[in-house]
Copies of this chain bind each other. A is one copy, B any other.
Amino acid sequence: MRSAVTIRDVARVAKVHPGTVSRALNADTRALVNEETAERVLRAAEELGYRPNPIARGLKTNRSYTIGVLIPDITNPLFPPILRGIEDRLGEAGYTSLIVNTDNDPDRERIHIEAMRARQVDGFISATARLDRELLAEAAAAGKPLVLVNRSLEDGSAPAVTVDDAFGIRLAVQHIADLGHKRIGHVSGPQNLSTGHRRYLGFVEAMTDAGLEVQSEHVRFSKWFTEDEGARVCAELLDAAPDLTAIVAANDLLALGCYDTLEERGLRCPEDISIVGFNDMPFVDRLRPPLTTVRVPQREIGTVAADLMLQRLTDDGDGASQILLEPTLVVRGSTAPPGASR
């Protein structure tokens, strides 16, 4: 009844030694065994419906064909498409992914890494926000490759796939500037995250390139990428600079928070203030108003990260390790020329 067909059963049927079966079935040792014998083994395996037991294999080889994937929270709509990309690509290569939610909590993160190491994961993909230094150290200590997603270390010491944040923000600013806006604010992300930081730098640069001045009261920083923080920071921004006609948010969730604050203050979007987000999360096209935002190729991020990992796992000849994906602008209803209603 059980899937009890082992390598020994196959050996018996094929009338060879279990060791030979192993060699015949393993792609890179097949050369060692006589063609004819190999075929006989293959047939026997097929016939019996033999499936090698990855557990037993892993015990001997120290490989689990499993990749640990760390994300802050699967409930954040940004991640499912990325995960989907990772899983699909990894799956094609015979790998499985083990997903954990860290909630950006160092303790949870540590526990999960520990558990994953115990489970002999072959590598880590991390889309998590904190502690990458330590994670990197952990991974290095365990001799496991680590791929960063959606963020990177300044010194490029770990392979990473990110989107070109500066370019994305530039698209947003240009669009707003082209509409005729002069006084443009930035609801920035946390500066200790590479995404938040780079988008902030990108904003400043794009503004000056557009010939616009960026006054210090036109920028406010959030502590996290959440809707609540977006609302709080937007309020702060409007208090400091009530004459703004447009806001570039560092992230869709922050933009959502801006919507909240505008509504609370009786301001209309886009008539009174235009808003641009970042990420193009699912369903932001259905908001009121539909959010103009910078679209990042989320699924592609996942597949590319998986590719990077697979590459690290097979040939250790390291190809490109810092991959930059290009975002695009999606113009929808939350942006309009300034004073559009007047």
Contacts and interface: CB of A to CB of B under 8 A. Distances in A.
Contacts of A11: none
A282 B283 CA distance: 9
Given A56-B59, A73-B84, A115 B142 contact: no
A143 interface: yes
Contact of A141 (B1, B58, B101, B115): B1
Contacts of A262: none
Interface string A111-147: 0001101111000000000000000000001110000
A55 B51 contact: no
B99 A99 contact: yes
Interface in A1-36: 1-3
A56 to B, nearest CB: 5
Contact of A54 (B2, B51, B118, B286): B118
Contacts of A240: none
Interface in A58-98: 58-59, 64, 73-75, 77, 80-81, 83-84, 87-88, 96-98
A153 interface: no
A215 interface: no
B53 A55 contact: no
B77 A83 contact: no
Contact of A119 (B55, B118, B289): B55
A43 B98 CA distance: 31
A330 interface: no
A162 B287 CA distance: 30
Contacts of A117: 3, 51
A100 interface: yes
A265 interface: no
Given A1-B141, A96-B119, A98-B96, A80 B75 contact: yes
A106 interface: no
A328 to B, nearest CB: 20
A52 interface: yes
Contacts of A3: 117-118, 142
Nearest to A51: B118
A288 interface: yes
Nearest to A88: B101
A74 B64 contact: no
Contacts of A286: 256, 259, 283, 286-288
8 closest pairs, A vs B, by CB? A288-B288, A51-B118, A74-B80, A55-B58, A75-B80, A283-B283, A286-B287, A55-B59
Interface of A: 1-3, 51-56, 58-59, 64, 73-75, 77, 80-81, 83-84, 87-88, 96-101, 114-115, 117-120, 141-143, 256, 259, 282-283, 286-289
20 contacts: A2-B143, A3-B117, A53-B118, A54-B120, A55-B64, A56-B59, A59-B59, A74-B84, A75-B80, A75-B81, A77-B77, A87-B99, A87-B101, A96-B115, A97-B99, A259-B286, A283-B286, A286-B287, A287-B287, A288-B289
